[in-house]
Amino acid sequence: MCGIIGIYGNPEASNLAYLGLYAQQHRGQEGAGIVTIDDRGAHRHMGQGLVSDVFSNRKVVESLPGSRAIGHTRYSTTGGLDAKNVGPLLFNVQNQPVAIAHNGNLVNLKATRLRLQRDGAIFQTSTDTEIIIHLMARSNAKRMVDRTVDALSQVEGAYSLLILTPEGLIAARDPRGWRPFVIGRLGESWVFASETCALDLIGAQVLRDVQPGEVLQIDDDGLATVHQLPAQPLKHCIFEYVYFARPDSRIFGDNVDKMRRKLGITLADEAPAPGADITISVPDSSNTAALGYADRSGIRHEIGLIRNHYVGRSFIRPEQRLRDLTVKLKFNTVKGVLEDREVVIVDDSIVRGTTMRRLVRLLRQAGVKKVHVRIASPPIRHPCHFGLDFPTEQELIAGRDSVDQIREYLEADTLEYLSLDGLRNSMDRPGDQFCTACFSGDYPIVPEAGSDKQIFENSVAGAD
């Protein structure tokens, strides 16, 4: 998953892009970057780490001139932790700078990359995003936006894309509308972002979503929809509502807070915990769902876990060794609240089980009498090929173990998940408009063999 931001027609473009990245830090913490383009060419600053680290010297932001900028916060789904994979990527196509920021994941990347390599392409990164640039470079179309259309008609998967060229700012979204993508206005200037929380921060008004399958360009004549890719059934990522997006954002036309609260409400109906004294959340990601659960069940909500906000999202650290440590660094218990109580702990999801196992132990150490674990999404049994960094089935605890085995592993007294129907029915639009592949195994596009992150990485390392 990643966060993207684009600014067109504002003398403060790089500064606004920087703020937009800041608001979308939760979408990727491995790296960040900004590219601007002006009459003199392209200007880029990027690096590994948080936005505040990469741009710790604010002079760097000011040194990116021009009124057009795109930015990217990275969380790798394809392509490793390598610095060269941090976006926006910047290339030359027909002697023009072309910068690209991508949220999503292409699925036919292995075959396409091999075909391009056989054709003479020399890849600079191991990202799926670079494939789009090579396809653009091979197009015979004159305008960059038409080259983009050519390229996108050859790829499959999830993409919300911003492409900055001297001709203008191009935005495109895959026909299934997998990832959120919004257009806003700030005075006379245009703003694009993954989530509306970025627009709120810079005071921009939300205009509308980039439509699924829409390829548009902003230039000095304004906004024009240049092409509509062939329609496909909508498949918004339901996990954006479960975990990924910020509750203060509006995505796919609905408030994340409202939808996440509904997940908690449905969970309380499906999986009550009679006899419990209090509910607690796992801050911050399950706060909203836990409130829904508490309201519906009538169980008093308490703040039982305190999170150290200076430690990043544990799951986003890709190596297991680092993940274990960050869970410990991240949470502590409020003993006065927990001692001698029967507690419902609501979390949004369980991936490997690392976080919850550790938390159940912490709760016991704080004197909790009984721990009821309630999860506001169904068991994650299948990897995601469309932009979330879920591990292989073997590493996903629900991919290999039954709910009862997971309960034992967590050392919880009870464990219950939201059902898939409960999740779908909590949505304000028909449940079949969402991708639920990580829960159901029902992949809207069957991924090609070898597109798993590590396999792809190894094959790319061998191929280059």
Q: Concatenated DSSP letters for 306-344?
A: EE-TTS--GGGS-SHHHHHHHHHHHEEE-HHHHTT-EEE
CA distance to 69, 184, 286, 334, 346, per residue, from 292 (Å): 39, 30, 10, 22, 10
Nearer to ligand AMP, 88 or 387 (CB): 387
Contact criterion met (CB below 8 Å) for 3 and 27: yes
Question: Position of tokens 């949004």?
Answer: 348
Least distance from ligand AMP to the Cβ atom of residue 195, Å: 15
Least distance from ligand AMP to the Cβ atom of residue 457, Å: 18
Helix (H) or strand (E) holding 216: strand 214-219
Least distance from ligand AMP to the Cβ atom of residue 285, Å: 4
Nearer to ligand AMP, 165 or 355 (CB): 355
Nearer to ligand AMP, 12 or 395 (CB): 395
Least distance from ligand AMP to the Cβ atom of residue 112, Å: 25
Distance CA 158, CA 2 (A): 12
Nearer to ligand AMP, 2 or 183 (CB): 2
Positive or negative torsion for Cα 426, 428, 432, 434: negative
Nearer to ligand AMP, 144 or 384 (CB): 384
Strand partners, 347: 375
- What is the contact surface with ligand AMP in residues (CB under 6 A)? 243, 282, 285, 313, 315-316, 347-356, 388-390
Residue number with the smallest Cβ distance to ligand AMP: 315
Distance CA 121, CA 119 (A): 6
Maximum Cα–Cα distance for the chain, whole Å? 71
For residue 179, which of 104, 111, 67, 232 has the smallest C-alpha distance?
104
Active site residue 435: no
Burial of residue 454 (number of CB atoms within 10 Å: 0-12, 13-18, 19+): exposed
Contact criterion met (CB below 8 Å) for 299 and 279: yes
Least distance from ligand AMP to the Cβ atom of residue 380, Å: 7
Nearer to ligand AMP, 39 or 310 (CB): 310
Strand partners, 331: 307
Least distance from ligand AMP to the Cβ atom of residue 438, Å: 9
Q: Which residues are known catalytic residues?
A: 2
